[in-house]
Amino acid sequence: MLMAAAQFGALGLLVSFHEQAILPVALPLVQLIGGEAATHYPTFFFALPMMFSRMVLVLSVFVFSVLSGAATLLFARAFGFESEGNAWKRALRAAPTLIILTAIAALLLFGLSQLATSAPVDRRIMRWGVRGGLLVTFVLIESFMIYSTAWVMLKGHKIFPAIRDSIRVTSRTFLPTLLVVGIPTLLLYPFSYLSGRVDLVANKLRPEMVTALLGTRIAIEMLMTFLLIGAITRLFLWRMEERK
């Protein structure tokens, strides 16, 4: 819920940038991440998904990383993992490690997205091949990020041990991990695709419908993320039990 609230807050800030109460903060923000043209209608709505994704990228590193850490520990306790202390306080103490690990994953995802955008792909079958390859890579990076969080919160790992052991767990539980992370990713793909092809929404319907698309995506992501963290935490604990 807190993750969704932060995203809805970011979306609301962008969409309402012209309101007098938030204009001094929101207008420079829109100009910074979207350019001067993004302050005008209807260009704003064509740039909105890009601006929103960049804000979410920053939120994911500095906010969602800590929230995911607390959620992982709470799920683990529900599954029978024994640990002491308040989950939120422990997540805040581990915040520097969680932030760095999430930043690494976010930079990898951002770099792959930029690479896919700039890749000269002419044929339709090649375009879908690139998208399919990127989708699998995104699943693996997301798996690495969630497993890293589990290593930090449940086993007290630092950055490099968490990276090393996350890769090991992902490789040893490859198929169940691929299914657990891949299914929500596939369910969200239509919304991700439409966010990248905002012209289909803005031109064929109304530019304002872009806001509704992003709002729907946030709501579905909230449910998928909740299920995903719980499932990956259970897989992690299952793998740890097998090692005993």
Q: Is the torsion defined by CA of 241, 96, 3, 214 positive or negative? A: negative
Mean pLDDT is lowest, of 109-113, 136-140, 219-223, for 109-113
C-alpha to C-alpha distance for 30 and 47, rounded to whole angstroms = 10
Q: Are 237 and 179 in contact (CB under 8 A)?
A: no
C-alpha to C-alpha distance for 16 and 151, rounded to whole angstroms = 40
C-alpha to C-alpha distance for 152 and 105, rounded to whole angstroms = 15
pTM: 0.86
Q: Is the torsion defined by CA of 100, 217, 77, 179 positive or negative? A: negative
Pair of tokens at residue 227 = 């299920």
C-alpha to C-alpha distance for 165 and 183, rounded to whole angstroms = 24
DSSP category for residue 84? -
DSSP category for residue 41? T
Q: What is the mean pLDDT of residues 217-242?
A: 88
pLDDT band at 135 (very low <50, low <70, confident <90, very high): confident
Q: What is the mean pLDDT of residues 224-242?
A: 88
Q: What is the pLDDT of residues 156-195, one digit of tens each?
A: 999 999 999 998 888 888 888 888 888 888 888 787 777 7
Q: Are 59 and 6 in contact (CB under 8 A)?
A: yes
Indicate the domain borders of the chain: 42-243
Distances (CA, A) of 42 to 22, 45, 46, 55, 206: 20, 6, 7, 20, 9
Residue 139 makes CB contacts below 8 A (sequence gap 6+) with 178, 181, 182, 185
Question: What local confidence, expressed as pLDDT, does residue 137 receive?
Answer: 80
